[in-house]
Structure 1
């Protein structure tokens, strides 16, 4: 399995990508920051009100004391109400904005994963990709919401508190702020450790997901071979690695948060100690110390916000970097500039000196293939296992890109055709049928999403599936379970054929479509395939004599490329590779 490389984008480029997800919600972001600004301002006003009450109203206790106290109380109540409104907006709309941004990233990543070629997916584990698609993006919404907001509030409070404290007692304030550089160095050191531990943790939980997905997807094989204990050992090993990584992550978190808490408490002790000393010496009044202590409490709050930002950065940035790692993969198969829309396809396919290898360091899976399949022709591909029959067929819809040579459809290179329009003209029926969780109707409609129910029923009749569908508990609306587990092999295959009937392509590829079926099911499916193949260019990977004999032409592949071609009778008379395969009884 290929390893996903780490992100190599410069920091500025990463920030631009992240900031681009704010664009649809910029108005909410502006209101959120405005409300955060108001919240920070109101919080700074409260200690000043308390100092005013302590010094002016209660200290002087004149005839206007009650009315002054009432005015200050009314002002503070108004500020509390405004604080509540702004905080509510920040808490609700800000979180919704963050969640929408998270959803947008997940949408883009899913679209990107679907655009990546078979070659990419062949080298990745599904559980790993699912973890990146879900768990890794979970904390990005929190970072998107709280990051700008908490940073703004923390900076405003720091500056505001410093101005207020410096106005009360500059020396004590400078002493207090001397703690901040030490706290910053401490925070950066343990942030680095937290980030490394979090990256390991994310990778390990992805391994756990991949192992669980692999085992549960193959649960029938696991149970039939009594492999539960083996799979449990594998899962336990991955789970133990994840627990170890989480232990390291929590250790770094404990050092970070407890250290920051200790610094906050030391600052409070320093204020009480040196503030008390200043009062004794007459350099500070008691009401000023009250205001000072309240402001120190406010100073600790932005420290807590910065600590929270640090946590969100570790969790959110780690997930965002893993998001960028996948987004950095560019689809190896995509439309060329000026690619043409496929229209009026006849179905002639030409291979011109085609060579293909799965990776640059691997030997060729196909070499020097020259072959023309006429429009409407029925061609069977035969050859020993591993000579590249399925690979050759997979090159036509560009599931893989040729390494050399070219393939033409009706005289036009397929690389010059729009990918989606090319694939709409090709129907593939495979041995391993994939049906989606849902109803029979939904699975057939996959061939043409805009099809009516009448069209779906017609396709099912053409595929010989209508009768068995009606016998299901809810007919076409019967839920068939994950991957169609409630259906037999023959029933699943006929549904896949109905799907292709509905698609109505010009070119058909049958990739050993009946090899896993019993004789009765094979006969029913074979009839459906023959009806589907009429008046269409058809390429069949054949393994049974009955299919081969019905072909208009048989093409024999060997490790060296295209060996021979002709009808069954011609090839048997020739006495070459095909005749030897028939004589030895090998599956073709």
Structure 2
């Protein structure tokens, strides 16, 4: 399907052929442990304690073989066995506590990462969300961040533990018999040979898998909601969507199998090398025992036990290297989002303003949605005085909505300036600026919660009487009261349980509740019935009254009552003035009036 081809064109493309594990990247990852340094210190202490305690049982085993059994000393035999068991039990109990602390740290780090990601994305401009798929964002927050949890829960702890075990065991081996120790250490390089190749292979598979998981999440997000499902059913595309899901899901499954198989081959190779060490110890240890008598049978058994313990951290290091290299694919995706720069930046000394007068000026404003594209808006100059209603008219795609979006800094101008009461809006704190502005858009968005919660989104501390007053003014109170649950009625996904007119009137009530000084309104009512249109017109009048308003006009009555009309074409304001003045110019506005507004009004009158 052509439509689904866009799902593969992600905002971020993984193009590297190998991971780049840099010192800066490692330090950045390790920095997430900083808030939990006290817990990490306790974990380190426990690791040191268990590493030391784990050396004792092999020594006790040597004494059992060399002393207790040859002397047939049952009391000594029981003592060594009890001590070994007690140490084993104590080490396991400490390990449980250590595991709890590991989990505590890792879960909190993952929580912090998700919060950092969510907070960062909340402050991104609308431009970012226009260029990225919702499923891609969800995949990075859930799949990618969830996929690196093992790095924080196990990897760094295993590295610390492995280093201590390796050092203590090596020292003990060299002390007992340096010849056998060197033989044991000579096999260690065999562990490192397959690690680099396997790590790179798993990294590439992991990168591909996360990309496919993002596509899968996008597909689920787009289709398994009310709007998407209605579209699928109306166009009978169930089989096509099912096939699309199966294709992506099959790819994810195959990638998972490939990654697991690569890991299994690696583990098999490592385990083969692990078996070589004890065999060499028995061989050379036996020769030393037979020819030189420099070691006992218990000493050989103890040596094999310690060598097995030595190979443990080496095996862990090999596996950790593979896991870390694999995780770099996820860290790159996560940090790629966290490093995205927000074009809407608030200055440290940005000012807070009280209730604005509402005078708006555009001075030589240029804007483009993408830096490489031709400007969407070119040299926009206009002035809207306090309390005026400014209507914007022009062909579809001319730039009317873009102009209105620049006022609350949903987008940032590329050059020029937008001024509110003579102050460049970039000098005003975002919270203070946007508190002055209410928007009622053509595509009204309601959260899948109650009508009350949707209204309180504008002003959480609003009283019941204020809710009722706003809804009464917006001509929606009587309808809400007629519902079985009234204001506690859940509206469904994007307000699917309500009609277009009802949603827009609730949106108007929400804007009234905010009581903004400036109102931006896209009055697209052509898709509504005449009764809904009348109710909305009655609702919008109190909202626009005594406020500065920017209205994208679709109705003749709005055009006629506007204090000033701006005619927009191809990103330029080509005409401005009042209705009669623009008619006399006999230009684009006159043409639009004759074709659009005048004919639309006649059609409306005939209904």
TM-score by length of 2: 0.90
Partner of 1:110: 118
Partner of 1:537: 548
CA distance in 2, matches of 1:47, 1:551: 92
Q: How far 1:134 moved relative to its partner?
A: 0.7
Q: Deviations over 1:345-375 (max 9, x none)?
A: 0100001121211122211211121111111
Counterpart of 1:174 (choices 171, 182, 197) is 182
C-alpha distance 246-145 of structure 1, shift in aligned 2 (>3 A): closer
Partner of 1:397: 408
CA distance in 2, matches of 1:583, 1:195: 63
CA distance in 2, matches of 1:309, 1:472: 59
Task: Map 1:18-417; keep pairs closer than 5 Å.
Answer: 18-61=29-72, 66=75, 68-217=76-225, 218-281=228-291, 282-417=293-428
CA distance in 1, matches of 2:255, 2:402: 41
C-alpha distance 45-443 of structure 1, shift in aligned 2 (>3 A): same
Alignment pair present for 1:436 and 2:432: no
Q: How far 1:110 moved relative to its partner?
A: 0.6
CA distance in 2, matches of 1:452, 1:86: 55
CA distance in 1, matches of 2:51, 2:523: 69
SS in structure 2 at match of 1:22: helix
Q: How far 1:70 moved relative to its partner?
A: 4.9
CA distance in 2, matches of 1:339, 1:9: 39
Q: How far 1:74 moved relative to its partner?
A: 4.7
CA distance in 2, matches of 1:276, 1:471: 93
Alignment pair present for 1:481 and 2:489: no
Q: Deviations over 1:97-123 (max 9, x none)?
A: 101100101100111111111111111
CA distance in 2, matches of 1:236, 1:117: 34
8 Å contact from structure 1 (residues 333, 398) kept in 2: yes
Q: How far 1:498 moved relative to its partner?
A: 1.9
- Comparing 4-13 and 145-154, the one that deviates more: 4-13
SS in structure 1 at match of 2:224: helix
Task: Map 1:424-503; keep pairs closer than 5 Å.
Answer: 424-503=435-514
Partner of 1:528: 539
C-alpha distance 370-10 of structure 1, shift in aligned 2 (>3 A): farther
SS in structure 2 at match of 1:59: coil
C-alpha distance 159-16 of structure 1, shift in aligned 2 (>3 A): closer
SS in structure 2 at match of 1:436: coil
8 Å contact from structure 1 (residues 431, 516) kept in 2: no
CA distance in 1, matches of 2:302, 2:334: 47
Q: How far 1:236 moved relative to its partner?
A: 3.7
8 Å contact from structure 1 (residues 154, 305) kept in 2: yes
SS in structure 1 at match of 2:519: strand
Q: Deviations over 1:68-116 (max 9, x none)?
A: 4454445434423432332111111211210110010110011111111
CA distance in 1, matches of 2:232, 2:261: 37
Q: How far 1:341 moved relative to its partner?
A: 1.2
- Comparing 224-233 and 102-111, the one that deviates more: 224-233
CA distance in 1, matches of 2:276, 2:484: 72
TM-score by length of 1: 0.93
8 Å contact from structure 2 (residues 508, 539) kept in 1: yes
CA distance in 2, matches of 1:75, 1:236: 58
Q: Deviations over 1:545-578 (max 9, x none)?
A: 2332232322211126112223333333443212
8 Å contact from structure 1 (residues 33, 148) kept in 2: no
CA distance in 1, matches of 2:560, 2:69: 108
- Comparing 233-242 and 530-539, the one that deviates more: 233-242
C-alpha distance 237-141 of structure 1, shift in aligned 2 (>3 A): closer
Q: How far 1:308 moved relative to its partner?
A: 4.4
Alignment pair present for 1:422 and 2:433: yes
CA distance in 1, matches of 2:386, 2:248: 53
Q: Deviations over 1:205-232 (max 9, x none)?
A: 1122123322334222222122233333
8 Å contact from structure 1 (residues 514, 526) kept in 2: no
SS in structure 1 at match of 2:155: helix
- Aligned-CA RMSD value: 2.5
CA distance in 1, matches of 2:175, 2:334: 47
How many corresponding residue pairs?
A: 585
CA distance in 1, matches of 2:315, 2:164: 14
8 Å contact from structure 1 (residues 98, 140) kept in 2: no
CA distance in 2, matches of 1:482, 1:276: 76
8 Å contact from structure 2 (residues 195, 322) kept in 1: no
